[in-house]
Amino acid sequence: MGVDLGALCVKREAKLSDFSGRVVAIDAFNTLYQFLSTIRQPDGTPLKDHLGRITSHLAGLLYRTVNIIEAGVRPVYVFDGKPHPLKAGTLEGRRAAKEKALIEWNEALEAGDLERAKSKAQATSRLTGEMVGQSKELLSALGLPHIQAPGEGEAQAVHLVRRGDACACASQDFDAMLFGAPLLLRNIAIGGKRKLPGKNAYADVEPEVISLEETLLSLGITREQLVDAAILIGTDFNTGIRGIGPKKALKMIIGNGSLESAMPAIEGDEKYREHLNGISDYGEIRRIFLNPDVTDDYSLEWGAVNEGRAVDMLCGEFHFSKERIVKAVERFSDLKKRSGQKSLFEF
DNA sequence: CAGTATGA
DNA sequence: TCATACTGG
């Protein structure tokens, strides 16, 4: 998902509790996809209820959110709206990749290769409208706000930060930086360990904060130039130019000042000339990132936890273990008692 | 992913 | 007590 700007960013290790008392705008789709991808059995099967409905997203959302709350952070989940027409190619590409992964998942299962099966299964993850609705319902039961973005969720999350309603965005995608997020939180999981794509090796993955200002300063460019570089590399809205990665893109933008000034050099290069259609819409893509479709029509209200509603939904409707869910939901209530407040989130 | 059981 | 393995739905 998104552009990989990892190599260009100034990162700093962080703890979730560094953001204690602050509002963090979380990219809901990105988070839910993460859960759908990782919360699976060794053979790749996701968690399902008695009716065969996938529940991985709900399990992940509940436990992740409890941990965020326990760190004193006030989460607001921001959901994607309508995708921009230029994203159609990316979405079609993902759909095709999922179809292929589904076949390969079954092949791996037949071959008895569990590791490959799980990895292929993860690539089949689909977030449905029903799952989105269920996730919103769970958040409401937990007394947490969620916001519906008109377009890209990340753009709306950044908008919250720019209006002073949140202090940072949380997402695994780097797109938030292109939208202008001053601070981007990545890896806000509790575990800190993640399986490496290689094999049985585990690497520590600590939460990290990326500062847009420090990144731009270290690169010696403006955000507009970062967006231009991203367009060359390729974004969700364009394929970019084959053969140009972060390093060459940056060099071209720094050397020429802007994408249009770099065009003669690109058009004059045989290698790149045939891929010009990959950046043909660059004016519109700039607009998507620099002047995104966002709304001020939202409210951020943290209410009390409705234990009964959360338990009814997860245990009654989806057959989660009552013991586990009650314990998790009570962690919200315990926090309230300790802080002596009616609601943890009252100002 | 996160909780829980296990066992050194 | 802590790292590792397994389970959850």
pLDDT band at A198 (very low <50, low <70, confident <90, very high): very low
A30 touches strand B (CB under 7 A): no
Q: Which nucleotide is nearest to A48 (CA to C1')?
A: C9
A324 touches strand C (CB under 7 A): yes
Query: Which nucleotides on strand B sit less than 7 A from a protein beta carbon?
Result: 1-4
pLDDT in tens, A271-290: 999 999 999 999 999 999 99
Of A100, A106, A128, A111, give the one whose Cα is nearest residue A33: A128
Q: Is the pLDDT of residue A245 over 70?
A: yes
Q: How many CB atoms lie within 10 A of CB A92?
A: 10
Q: Is the pLDDT of residue A194 over 80?
A: no
Q: Is the pLDDT of residue A346 over 50?
A: no
Q: Which nucleotide is nearest to A38 (CA to C1')?
A: B1
Distance, angstroms, CA A39 to C1' B6?
A: 22
Which chain A residues in 104-133 sit with Cβ < 7 A of strand B?
none
Query: Could you give phi then psi for residue A55, rounded to 5 degrees?
Result: -125, 5
Distance, angstroms, CA A76 to C1' C3?
A: 34
Range with the poorest average pLDDT among A26-30, A191-195, A206-210, A322-326: A191-195
A42 touches strand C (CB under 7 A): yes
pLDDT confidence of residue A333: 77
The letter for the amino acid at A315 is C
Of A114, A165, A190, A156, give the one whose Cα is nearest residue A302: A165
A47 touches strand C (CB under 7 A): yes
Report in angstroms the alpha-carbon separations of A86 from A15, A143, A170, A279.
36, 36, 24, 11
CA A202-A1-A25 angle, to 5 degrees, is 90
CB A42 within 8 A of CB A114: yes
Q: Is the pLDDT of residue A110 over 80?
A: yes
Average pLDDT, chain A: 93
Query: Which nucleotides on strand C sit less than 7 A from a protein beta carbon?
Result: 7-9
**Helix (H/G/I), strand (E/B), else coil: A205:** coil
pLDDT band at A197 (very low <50, low <70, confident <90, very high): very low
Q: Which nucleotide is nearest to A319 (CA to C1')?
A: C9
| DSSP for residue A235 | B
Query: Could you give phi then psi for residue A118, rounded to 5 degrees?
Result: -65, -45
Q: Is the pLDDT of residue A248 over 90?
A: yes
Rounded Cα–Cα distance for residues A304 and A136 (Å): 16
Handedness of CA A282, A288, A290, A291 (dihedral sign): positive
Q: Is the pLDDT of residue A215 over 50?
A: yes
Distance, angstroms, CA A63 to C1' B3?
A: 9
Distance, angstroms, CA A132 to C1' B3?
A: 24
Distance, angstroms, CA A41 to C1' C5?
A: 13
Q: What is the DSSP string of A41-103?
A: -TTSPBPB-TTS-B-HHHHHHHHHHHHHHHTT-EEEEEE--SPPGGGHHHHHHHHHHHHHHHH
The letter for the amino acid at A13 is E
Q: Which nucleotide is nearest to A60 (CA to C1')?
A: B1
pLDDT confidence of residue A332: 80
> Which domains are seen in chain A, by residue range?
6-215 (3.40.50.1010), 220-290 (1.10.150.20)
Distance, angstroms, CA A193 to C1' B8?
A: 22
pLDDT confidence of residue A2: 87
The letter for the amino acid at A43 is D
Rounded Cα–Cα distance for residues A347 and A139 (Å): 19
Residue nearest to nucleotide C8 (CA to C1'): A47
pLDDT band at A339 (very low <50, low <70, confident <90, very high): low
Distance, angstroms, CA A31 to C1' B2?
A: 14
CB A89 within 8 A of CB A239: yes
A319 touches strand C (CB under 7 A): yes
CB A300 within 8 A of CB A159: no
Of A294, A234, A282, A237, give the one whose Cα is nearest residue A88: A237
Q: Which nucleotide is nearest to A328 (CA to C1')?
A: B3
Output the six-digit token pair for A246: 């972060």
